[in-house]
């Protein structure tokens, strides 16, 4: 299904239908936020958006499996599985920050072959299949970065890298680069491939956080590995950068 021309229109449908639920509740003072057992927030928008995607996928691809953040897995051992995060960055969404998005991934035998990152508050939809990447139907290619000491570094939570990995290594990377911000979650990765940043990191991820990112990032020409330079699977985080600087970043993170 990697070359199936019907996939891109379907990814668009999933993104746009969920945005109809998400956008009206963004920055809504009446939005109610609940806290799950793992101390992460969830809202009506998270749950309803995932329900919509599950319904659409089950109707169009009844033999496919579905794995999502908010509900139980369905047919997770199928050859083709969809991995869904209805709102990646619920904390940002609930706080009224536009740095959140919907993540949609199609996997074949557990390998991500299509990914979509929708930033609904900004009207940007990124779609990739490891070979190419589009933003609102226009090709996206990662730009050559400046020297490392001029690079813009991003992470989602500045406290987390030192908790899960080598704190000295993280401090060294912060010192080795220029600007450093926490414009994270999926938004940070779109900022990187769009040229607004040069390094994006997260020290620990869930499957639904990471699956959709890989085909988009690699389709744009970025190198995406775990914290140690290996294939990213989630628990050991993700480090994304241009091929010219990625190896240096990994070396600094792991003194």
Q: What is the end-to-end Cα distance of the chain in Å, rounded?
A: 41
155 lies in some domain? yes
- Are 57 and 109 part of one and the same domain? yes
Co-location of 167 and 246 in the same domain: yes
Q: Are residues 13 and 112 in the same domain?
A: yes
Question: Which of residues 139, 169, 191 is at a domain's end?
Answer: 139
Is residue 79 included in any domain, yes or no?
Answer: yes
Among the candidates 88, 105, 139, a domain finishes at 139
Strand-strand pairing, 199-202 and 153-155: parallel
226 in Cβ contact with 253 (< 8 Å): no
pLDDT confidence of residue 234: 84
pLDDT at 2 over 80: no
Domain boundary among 89, 121, 139: 139
Residue 69 lies in a domain: yes
Segment of 2-16, 36-50, 72-86 carrying the highest mean pLDDT = 72-86
Is residue 236 situated within a structural domain? yes
Host domain of residue 162: 148-253
Q: Do residue 16 and residue 124 come from a single domain? A: yes
Q: In terms of domains, do 17 and 64 share one? A: yes
| Residue 93 and residue 165 in one domain | no
Does one domain contain both 67 and 178? no
Q: Are residues 39 and 160 in the same domain?
A: no
Span 90-132, pLDDT tens digits: 999 999 999 999 999 999 999 999 999 999 999 999 999 999 9
2 occurs within a structural domain: no
- Same domain, yes or no, for 201 and 222? yes
Looking at the domain assignment, is residue 222 inside a domain? yes
What digits encode the pLDDT tens for the residues 164-220? 999 999 999 999 999 999 999 999 999 999 999 999 999 999 999 999 999 999 999
How many distinct structural domains can be found in the chain? Answer: 2
Sheet holding 111-119, edge to edge: 65-68, 80-88, 101-108, 111-119, 124-128, 133-135, 138-139
- Is 180 found in the same domain as 127? no
**Dihedral of the alpha carbons of 110, 209, 205, 150, in degrees to the nearest 10:** 120
Q: pLDDT > 90: what percent of the chain?
A: 94
pTM of the model: 0.97
**What per-residue confidence (pLDDT) applies to 39?**
85
Walk across the sheet containing 238-241 and list its strands. 180-181, 153-155, 199-202, 238-241, 223-225
| Residue 155: Cβ-neighbour burial (10 angstroms; 0-12, 13-18, 19+) | buried
Does 207 reside within a domain?
yes
Average pLDDT over residues 53-58: 98
241 and 157 within one domain: yes
pLDDT (0 to 100) of residue 1: 79
pLDDT of residue 156: 97
State whether 13 and 126 are in the same domain.
yes
CATH number of the domain to which 184 belongs: 3.40.190.80
**What CATH number corresponds to the domain at position 46?**
3.30.540.10
167-176 and 243-253 helices, crossing angle to 10° = 140
């Amino acid at each position: 299904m990697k070359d199936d021309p019907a996939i891109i229109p379907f990814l668009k449908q999933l993104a746009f239908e969920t945005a109809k639920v998400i956008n009206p509740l963004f920055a809504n003072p009446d939005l109610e936020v609940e806290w799950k057992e793992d101390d992460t927030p969830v809202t009506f928008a998270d749950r309803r958006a995932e329900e919509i995607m599950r319904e659409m996928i089950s109707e169009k691809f009844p033999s496919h499996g579905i794995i999502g953040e908010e509900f139980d897995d369905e047919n997770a051992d199928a050859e083709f599985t969809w991995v869904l995060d209805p709102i990646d960055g619920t904390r940002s969404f609930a706080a009224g920050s536009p740095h959140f998005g919907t993540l949609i991934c199609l996997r074949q035998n557990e390998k991500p072959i299509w990914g979509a990152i929708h930033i609904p508050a900004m009207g940007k939809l990124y779609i990739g299949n490891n070979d190419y990447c589009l933003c609102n139907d226009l090709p996206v290619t990662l730009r050559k970065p400046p020297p490392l000491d001029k690079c813009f570094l991003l992470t989602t939570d500045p406290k987390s890298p030192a908790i899960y990995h080598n704190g000295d290594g993280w401090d060294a990377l912060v010192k080795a680069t220029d600007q450093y911000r926490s414009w994270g979650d999926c938004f940070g990765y779109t900022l990187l491939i769009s040229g607004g940043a040069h390094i994006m990191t997260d020290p620990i991820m869930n499957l639904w956080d990471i699956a959709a990112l890989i085909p988009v990032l690699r389709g744009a020409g970025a190198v995406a590995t775990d914290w140690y330079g290996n294939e990213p699977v989630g628990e050991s985080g993700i480090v994304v950068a241009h091929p010219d600087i990625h190896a240096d970043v990994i070396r600094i993170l792991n003194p």
